[in-house]
Structures are given as structure tokens and as C-alpha cells.
Structure 1
Amino acid sequence: MDAEVSPKLFIGIDVHKRQWSVSIFTANCHPKTFSQVPNPKALKSYLDKFFPKHQIICCYEACKFGFWIYRELCSFGYEFLVINPADLPTTNKESSEKTDPLDSRKMAKALRAGLLRGIHVPTQETEGDRQLFRYRKRLWADLVRVKNRIKDKLLQNGIETPHKYDNPYWTKDFLDWLAVVELPSASSRLVMDLLLDQFEPAFR
């Protein structure tokens, strides 16, 4: 059968760590909704067996799993959309009865109706750059939180920071002082040591 006249298969995939919910629609019916292992090759094996010679059109919602699923399914020759979850048409009843199979069916139906537009999928290099930026931002936020906890620990125990450490703050000398400053109890000292253990790897 020529590619131009191959029947189309519209597939919505609700992806999760442990399993995927997959709904399959043809132009005229909804033959199947099922759960499968979270593996693109498993989906391809199923489609090759039960829907040979179909034109495959898939979608899933952008999520924490990134775009590796999109890239692998595209490598099989499938058309693919990664969609913004906010762009998926949803009725009030569907919102109150949210389930994975229902979500995959909504995606497949909207895909068949031509109601979905895909978001821009970055290259793997760009995606890696974004991950690096987010990691640095998260690491900096964690560092600020630890600094604030160390300062709070000094305030809670009525300990003033010597003026020579006012500026610049968080130098090696200041950290050495924190490591030996006398605290009112062994438990307080332990808390300070644990906080310094969190801070010092980032400082180095």
C-alpha cells in the first residue's frame, strides 16, 4: 500500500515512570486503550504486530521526562507532537474524572480532530544547556538556603559574627571560624557541622 493512501492511526500517550497509558484511534473508531511498559520499542512492537502499514501520528504532553521519547519514536518514522498540557481541550467532567486512560484518549481524539499544535522541541545540545542552567540555578538556591540557616543558627544562640568577617563574607577564614566557634550544646555544634558539610562542597 502506498504511503499516500495508508490508513492513519492517531495515538495519545500519557507517560509516567512506571507505565504508559496508550489510546489508539483510527479515522472512524477507537479500537484500543491499554497500559504498557514505559518503552518506545514496546509500543513499536505492538503497532507493527496489530497495525501494520498504518501511518502513525502520536502525541504526549510536555513533562519532566524531556524529549527522549519523542526522539526515539520519531526515529521509527512516526509523526509526533509534543503538546502543552494547557492546550488540550478538556470538559468539566473530564477535569473532575481525571485518569491516565482518560487523558490518553483525550489526546488521541484531539489529535485526530486536528485540534493540537506541537511545541518547539529543542536539539539535544540545547536541552542539555537548559538542564545545566537549571541545575546551576537550583544549586545556587540551595547554597543560599544553607547560608541563611547558618546565620540563623548563630542568631538563635546569641553569637555575634566578628567584625573582621563582615566583608567579605563566606571566606575560608570565616568558614574556619564557624568550624570551631563555641556553641552552647553538643547538639547545636552537630547541627552547625552538618550545615557546614552541606555548604563546603559547593564553596570549593
Structure 2
Amino acid sequence: MKKTQHYVGLDVHKDTIMIAVADGGREGEVRLYGQVSSDLHAVERALRKVGADGGELHVAYEAGPTGYVLYRRLRQLGIDCVVVAPSRTPVDKGNRRKTDRRDAQMLARLHRAGELTAVHVPEAVDEAIRDLTRARADAVRDLTRARQRLKSFLLRHGYRYSGKANWSEAHRRYLRELELPAPSLKAVLEEYLLAVTQCEERVSRLEQLLGLQAPLWRLYPAVEALMTIRGFQLVAAAVLVAELGDVRRFAHPRELMAFLGLVPKEESTGESRRLGSITKAGNAHARWILIETVQHAWLPPKVSAQLSKRQEGQPAARRELSWKIQVRLHKRAWHLSRRGVMKPKVTVALAREMAGFAWAMLQTADWPAMTRAA
């Protein structure tokens, strides 16, 4: 006898979860179960009641600030669960009312119709490394802000550093020896300097921790493969692998480019076809790191001592692909520049190509412990 199918929509918040159930069949009832605490045990009790008739449960909720704890718990219990992308959830534009009840019912109805797009849920160990790389990115942003505050403070009072490089040893000595006309100003300078130092130490601690943890990570073979490419040192390679996970879920590099939001918007109708700026959809962290890694493309292709060391023991095919990437990106950068394309657009074009090359390089990685996307 075929089991009853129950499609459950969860509107998840920090403290509460609204539950709606769509029974199997297109004309099946979409009923509101009610609101429960976001405590995992409360959700389990509610779902057991929904499936008390022995029916199969298919749960869906939108990705958000609560992460994947609920997803992993339900999967442990043997309950089918997907986390869906809010940006790709169909919306009724004529419906101006948005409530938790309506959202839960909409998710249940769309899940039953098969119209929801699931996101890739990383394994817990992979998410831990991703959190580490994101913490480092936060620390770098805090450091940038701290330095900007210090420079803005000095500029307001007429102090400009005339040396060549900011934050060099000479620049730091200039800041330490700077004489300000009032004790309060000197105290403010000391506080800003202390804030910069603390941020620098935080970045250093996180990078050291990443250096210790990355080689123990199950996806480190993929990191090593990326590190054979110029521009991909440990941090950049770890960020991209942690953000993307198993790239084998992208059948073609164009799918990865679209996932990263590096493809242009398109408005086509009839014989008219208009392309706009990039979509910026998908993973902003991975897109940002790709843009950082192509900054070298303006320089002539070269295998530096650092890159040569990273390539030691790597297969010849990877080294050949690495060189091909350098030559291609350098040629592309100057070709677009000579055509009058502005540098920001050139950088985006290079990042898009780098995404394709990274996809190709990661296909060569030995990932024995990899699992397919959930």
C-alpha cells in the first residue's frame, strides 16, 4: 500500500517555527499545523504528530540566519528535508500580505509542486572551516576600518604621511613619533593605534589557525590543487573550496559562473537581446576571492619562487594548466584594456574566466572523502 505523502513547510525564526502541511495530490489540503518553539525537540514532537498516520514527511524551510542545525537533525532522524534558496522561491506578486502562516503554507504548497530550489548544505566539518575563513574575512574588514579611522582622524587635523607606502615600518614609526598639540588628541591617536594593532593580531591568529587546521581538513587535496594557480595561496584556496564544496555538482563551468553571479543579466524578447551588469547572485564570498586572485593578471606570466614551492610534487598536468591560466588571463587583460574596457569590467571578466579555470583544476583533485551535495 502506498504511503501518504506529507509536504511540510517551516517558516523558521530564532525563537519560533510556523508549520504548515500540504497533503499529497495536487488538490490535497494545505493546512496550518501551528506555531512551535524553535527548540529541536519541539519540532520533532510536532513532526511525529504530522506523520502519526505512517505517512512520509518531506520538509522544506528557507535558508537563513539559523543555519543548518535543524536540517542536520531531521536528516539524522531519517526525515527527508531540504533547505531552499529564498531568492529563487516563486512569489505571487499580486499578494501584498506576508505573514508567518502564509509563508509556511506557501512553502508546503510549492514543495508539493516541486517548485523549490534546494541549496547545497555543507558537511559540518566543512562548515567549520568555512566559518574560520569567514571570521578571517571579518577581521580583515575590521582592520581596514580601523586603519581608515586613524587616517581620517589625522587628515582632519592636517597630518599627511608623505612616504611611499602606508603601514610600512617607516609609516608606523612616523605614527608613533607624531607630536600632537593637545594631550586629548595624543590619547585618541594612541587608542586608534591600539585598535589597529589588535585587529592585526586577530588577523594573524586566525591565519595561523587556518594554517594548522587546513592540512587536517578532508578537502585539503582540493586546496592543494588550487594552490598550484598563481594568486591562490592557502587563504584564497581554502576560502574558495570552503564556499563551493564539491564542484562536481556543477556539470559545466558556466553553471559555476552563474552560481557565483559572474554572468550578465539578460533581457531578451523577440529579436531583441540586451545584456546588463553581472547578476551578483549566489555566493558573494567566493566571488570576492576570485576577484582578488586575478589582480596579478596585469603582470607578465611568471613562476615565482613561492609558486614553484607550492607546485612541488604536483602532477605535470596541473603545472601545465597553471601556466596556461597565467598566459590566458594576462593576454585577456591587456586585450580588453586596449579595446578601452574600464578596469573594473576587465577584472570581472577575468574573475569569470578564473572561475572556469578553477572548476577545471578542481576536477583533477583527489577527493576520496567527498560526498555529493545533499
Give the TM bin, normalised by the shorter chain: 0.7 to 0.9
Q: How does the TM-score come out when normalised to structure 1?
A: 0.84
Shift of 1:116: 1.9
Q: How does the TM-score come out when normalised to structure 2?
A: 0.48
* Counterpart residue type for residue 201 of structure 1: Q
Check conservation: 2:11, 2:19, Cα contact below 8 A. yes
Aligned to 2:302: none
**Residue 16 of structure 2 corresponds to residue 16 of structure 1:** no
Aligned to 2:42: 42
Task: Give the structure, 1 or 2, with the largest relative contact order (CA under 8 Å, sep 6 or more).
Answer: 1
Aligned to 1:87: 88
Shift of 1:190: 3.8
Unaligned runs of 5+ in 2: 202-374
Q: How many residues align?
A: 197
Moved more, 105-114 or 26-35: 26-35
Deviations 1:115-149 (A, max 9, x none): 22322211112212222222211211111111111
Check conservation: 2:10, 2:19, Cα contact below 8 A. yes
% same residue: 26
Check conservation: 1:74, 1:80, Cα contact below 8 A. yes
Larger radius of gyration: 1
Check conservation: 1:33, 1:101, Cα contact below 8 A. no
Please give the secondary structure, in 1, of the residue aligned with 2:189.
Answer: helix
Aligned to 2:58: 57
Check conservation: 2:32, 2:105, Cα contact below 8 A. no
Aligned to 1:141: 141
Unaligned runs of 5+ in 1: none
* Counterpart residue type for residue 36 of structure 1: V
Identify if the C-alpha distance between structure 1 residues 160 and 60 changes in structure 2 by more than 3 Å, giving closer, same or farther: same
Q: Structure 1 CA distance, aligned partners of 2:117 and 2:159?
A: 59
Q: Structure 1 CA distance, aligned partners of 2:186 and 2:34?
A: 56
Q: Structure 2 CA distance, aligned partners of 1:179 and 1:38?
A: 52
1:158-197 to structure 2, matched below 5 A, reads: 158-161=158-161, 166=163, 169-170=166-167, 175=172, 178=175, 181-197=178-194
Aligned to 1:198: 195
Q: Structure 2 CA distance, aligned partners of 1:102 and 1:6?
A: 27
